[in-house]
Amino acid sequence: STAPSPDTVPAGRATSPGATAAKGGKVRLPGAVWVYAAYALLSGFGIQATNVYLPLFAQREVGFSLVLGGLTAAVAGVVGVASRIVWGQRIVGKGNAFTLLLTLGLGAAAGAALLLAAGLTQSGVLLWCGVFLHGAMGLAINVVVMARMMRDVPPGKVGAASGRVAVGLYLGFAAGPLAMGGLLTAFNGFMAGWCVVMGVYLACALLAALARHRMPGSPQSWSHTILDRADAQQGAP
């Protein structure tokens, strides 16, 4: 008998993206996934280096008490929770994700610059401004990266893609405090460490700018594609 054409195959027997990937053996991921993974690696470095050493920096370099030093981390965390909600709402649309990541990278770099200036001038005002930017920009990055990656990847490849991005993020989390501690020991101060953190965030911004230029449309969200097709079918006579 003649094999049925693709148009006559029942919907329930259609091959899923996950099944196709499994038959192929090796999952081929969109190029944007590797950009997200690299961005997660770099930003994770800066985020965790700042999180771990911020209270010690405030106490040792700016003259805060131990309680106030601990409060800097608490304030950054509270601001970070709010910023994740705000920035999370910004990625709901179909805009280019790399534009948002460019903004976050530059904002996080500005926060590191303020912490550097606070150490040089022993200014509590600059320190609190740096803490705010760290929470508002830096701590929101991983949520934006993961959420947008899940929207831009076909359903059958979300597991493989999120695993690679998570590996990059946690490698950054591990390397950041280690490098910051080594720089603190080598230079007997935080200035070199904040310069490195600022440079890492600027590298994030550069990566996002390059990706924005090379991928101007940003991969279209698969969830939007499915919903748009469903709406079109419902509207058809």
Q: What is the pLDDT of residue 26?
A: 63
CA angle 129/131/133 to nearest 5° reads: 70
| Distance between CA atoms of residues 80 and 74, nearest Å | 10
Q: Is residue 57 part of a domain?
A: yes
Average predicted confidence (pLDDT) for the chain: 83
Tens-place pLDDT, residues 149-178: 888 788 888 888 889 999 999 999 999 999
Residue 124 has pLDDT above 70, yes or no: yes
| Distance between CA atoms of residues 117 and 121, nearest Å | 6
Identify whether the C-beta of residue 119 lies closer than 8 Å to the C-beta of residue 191.
Answer: yes
Q: What is the pLDDT of residue 18?
A: 44
Q: What is the pLDDT of residue 215?
A: 65
Q: What is the pLDDT of residue 139?
A: 96
| Phi/psi of residue 160, nearest 5 degrees | -65, -40
Q: How big is the chain, counted in residues?
A: 237
Q: Is residue 24 part of a domain?
A: no
Q: Is residue 3 part of a domain?
A: no
Q: Is residue 109 part of a domain?
A: yes
Tens-place pLDDT, residues 128-145: 999 999 999 999 999 999
Q: What is the pLDDT of residue 80?
A: 96
Q: Is residue 236 part of a domain?
A: no
* pTM score of the predicted model: 0.79
Tens-place pLDDT, residues 195-218: 999 999 999 999 999 998 876 544
Q: Is residue 177 part of a domain?
A: yes
Q: Into how many domains does the chain fold?
A: 1
Identify whether the C-beta of residue 149 lies closer than 8 Å to the C-beta of residue 162.
Answer: yes
- Domain membership of residue 95 as a residue range: 29-219
User: What whole-number percentage of the chain has pLDDT above 70?
Assistant: 77
Q: What is the pLDDT of residue 231?
A: 41
Tens-place pLDDT, residues 21-79: 444 456 677 778 889 999 999 999 999 999 999 999 999 999 999 999 999 999 999 99
CATH code where residue 115 lies: 1.20.1250.20
| Distance between CA atoms of residues 192 and 119, nearest Å | 11
207, 45, 60: which is closest to 112 by C-alpha?
45
